[in-house]
Amino acid sequence: MMFQRPALAAIVLATALGGCGGAAPLTFDLMALPGQGRVAASARSIVVAEPVGLQPFEADRIIVREPGGGLSFLGGGQWSDRLPRLLQTRIIQSLENSGRLRSVSRPGDKIAAQYQLISEIRAFDIAAGSSEAVVDLSVKLIADASGSVVAAKVFQARVPIAKVDPGSAAAGLDRAMAVVLADIVRWVNGGR
């Protein structure tokens, strides 16, 4: 099932930096998958943990991976929040929008759930050598009562971008994330 998505939401910050006269970087957001209308919900509930990743992914900056493997931040653009928190929010919203689960929450919500979804950011960057937006998440579904892994899968998407600039990079990463979100939602809802 393919999901339709609205265009990338971009929030333009028009404030000047503390007296130096420079413009603030553009701030970009990722979109959750849209709602699916009325669907028969299961009795399952799930807690979605904040993804973990290497230190560069802990920031709100857009990352470029150079052909030699070096990582740098793309100037002139940033995410609307720290990347792990932004990804957690969009995964939660996409699962909620699917209408297939009884409840979807965060660990701090203190809602009893049968499953916990944990993930690791393996890549969320622009591959400069191939001009592609790359999203790679390792995801595990854990039975909350026993702590055992019920299922595990790596979700990947690569989307070409026209050029390596903040707008193209953010739009490409949003499109790649849309593919990964659709696959994660289908997988969590039993389409493994």
Residue 38 clears pLDDT 70, i.e. is over it = no
3-class DSSP assignment, residue 105 = strand
* Whole-number average pLDDT of the chain: 87
Q: Which range (28-32, 40-44, 45-49, 97-101) has the least confidence?
A: 40-44
Residue 18 clears pLDDT 80, i.e. is over it = no
User: Which DSSP string corresponds to 60-93?
Assistant: SEEEEE-TTS-EEEEEEEEESS-HHHHHHHHHHH
pTM of the model: 0.86
Residue 8 clears pLDDT 80, i.e. is over it = no
Q: 8 or 132: whose pLDDT is higher?
A: 132
Which of the following CATH numbers is that of domain 41-188: 3.40.50.10610, 1.10.287.110, 3.40.1160.10, 3.20.20.70? Answer: 3.40.50.10610
Q: Count CB-CB contacts under 10 A for residue 191.
A: 9
Q: What would the mean pLDDT of 180-185 be, rounded to a whole number?
A: 97
Q: In whole angstroms, give the CA distance from residue 186 to residue 192.
A: 7
Q: In whole angstroms, give the CA distance from residue 25 to residue 1.
A: 36
Q: What would the mean pLDDT of 40-56 be, rounded to a whole number?
A: 88
Q: Which residues contact 3 (CB under 8 A, 6 or more apart)?
A: 33, 34, 178, 181, 182
What pLDDT does residue 169 have?
A: 97
> What is the band of 146 on the pLDDT scale with cuts at 50, 70, 90?
confident
Q: Which range (13-22, 75-84, 112-121) has the least confidence?
A: 13-22
Q: Count CB-CB contacts under 10 A for residue 31.
A: 18
| Residues 143 and 150 sit within 8 Å (Cβ to Cβ) | yes
Domain boundaries along the sequence of the chain = 41-188
